[in-house]
Structure 1
């Protein structure tokens, strides 16, 4: 059984961006796994990091990431995917002190891409995925950028589908940041039909994020409707027929 492995920066990115494709792979008989990179719980957060949970209605003493991991487990169950959680801290716990900073330049002391590459290398050796899916880092979120940088260090030999980062394309940004546009634009674009209802059901599992990202479940539904019934990628490496052979 071929394996499709999605490398998701946060606990929702893969479902939001390519959940319909992952669900379709599962229906076609693929094994599907979602490895989320920045999932570490942090005891007693302060400042902007604390605000990132309290502004979603959670109390200061809540284990925000444990709640999010539970949401991800349910979302993956709905996609028929295996969740895998790597123990790295999100950007607000690495010195990025504001919402603007999350989409600004990388800090000079942020070596997350090196740590990610060191952790991902044995995972890829162990799991031997037939296909990787990963973000293009559209929008420029520093955690997405570091994910791409880590994969560039590893230079995977197999096929990669680089997804369009959702919801950054859905937030009416006329020109969202595309830090890797040069490399991505050189790759062929691929549009894939999706299992839209299964994707919708999986995305709805991320209850803590729906108000912040979309204004609530209704906003999520509208954003997914506007995105349509295909997901778009840049493809590197061999085609999917070769991957599944």
Structure 2
């Protein structure tokens, strides 16, 4: 049985960005692992870190990340994820990025989180030995996404088994956003038709109750936004229907390409 490891900086990135592909692989008998990096509860947040929860209508005493982990668990149960991993590391607002603008600046020199992430992820990869790894492109340049992209080479030679997903909703709001320059240079688009899986993806995204208002304008808008976006993604590559579009190296194994696209190797 083949295994796909979906690597998510935050507790929602995989769902929003490539939940349709996750559903597609699961329906085809794959083992699916969802691994999220920045998931730690931080007691007594203050300043900008506290504002990140109060601006979503949550009281200061609420354990915001505990709520988000529960949302992630609900998504995993709905999508029948086989392996759910949280690496228990702090998000950027708890690492000295003290404003909304600071979240979208290059990683600070004193932010050593990348090495710690590698320490947490290396044993997960060694245990699961995935046939396919799905990682963000860091569209939008959120520093947590950038850190994940830039640590990938330290995790081993995964280029022939990695798909780089388009970080959503950044890809919706910033259609011209470019991938982080740390991505390999020889990548080309790989289009996955998720028309059949789109309703399931939308339902999965609504599990992230604390996020859909801020990111989409409410639960009712999730379906409208994602349906239109994935239709545009397909059309941009000369396809009909609804697509999630990845970047893949020329060396992507033909059997993986066929499993994703139904196109013969």
Q: Is TM (by shorter chain) over 0.5?
A: yes
- Relative CO higher for 1 or 2, CA cutoff 8 Å, sep ≥ 6? 1
Unaligned residue ranges in structure 1 (runs of 5+)? none
Which secondary structure state, in structure 2, belongs to the residue aligned with residue 96 of structure 1?
Answer: coil
State how 1:63-74 maps to structure 2 within 5 Å. Answer: 63-74=63-74
State how far apart, in whole Å, the 1-side matches of 2:80 and 2:253 are: 23
Which secondary structure state, in structure 2, belongs to the residue aligned with residue 5 of structure 1?
Answer: strand
What residue number does 2:166 align with? 164
State whether structure 2 residue 246 is matched by structure 1 residue 233.
Answer: yes
Q: Deviation at 1:225?
A: 1.2
Which secondary structure state, in structure 1, belongs to the residue aligned with residue 33 of structure 2?
Answer: strand
**How many pairs were matched up?**
242
Determine if contact 2:8/2:36 at 8 Å carries over to the other structure: yes
State how far apart, in whole Å, the 1-side matches of 2:180 and 2:128 are: 29
What residue number does 2:130 align with? 129
State how far apart, in whole Å, the 2-side matches of 1:175 and 1:161 are: 20
Unaligned residue ranges in structure 2 (runs of 5+)? 231-241, 260-265
Which secondary structure state, in structure 1, belongs to the residue aligned with residue 116 of structure 2?
Answer: helix
Which secondary structure state, in structure 1, belongs to the residue aligned with residue 245 of structure 2?
Answer: strand
Determine if contact 2:164/2:248 at 8 Å carries over to the other structure: yes
Q: Could you tell me the TM-score, scaled by structure 1's length? A: 0.94
What residue number does 1:206 align with? 208
State how far apart, in whole Å, the 2-side matches of 1:10 and 1:193 are: 25
State how far apart, in whole Å, the 2-side matches of 1:31 and 1:221 are: 26
Q: Deviations over 1:204-236 (max 9, x none)?
A: 100100111111112222210112221000113
Structure 1 stretches of 4+ moved >6 Å:
none
RMSD over aligned Cα, in angstroms?
Answer: 1.7
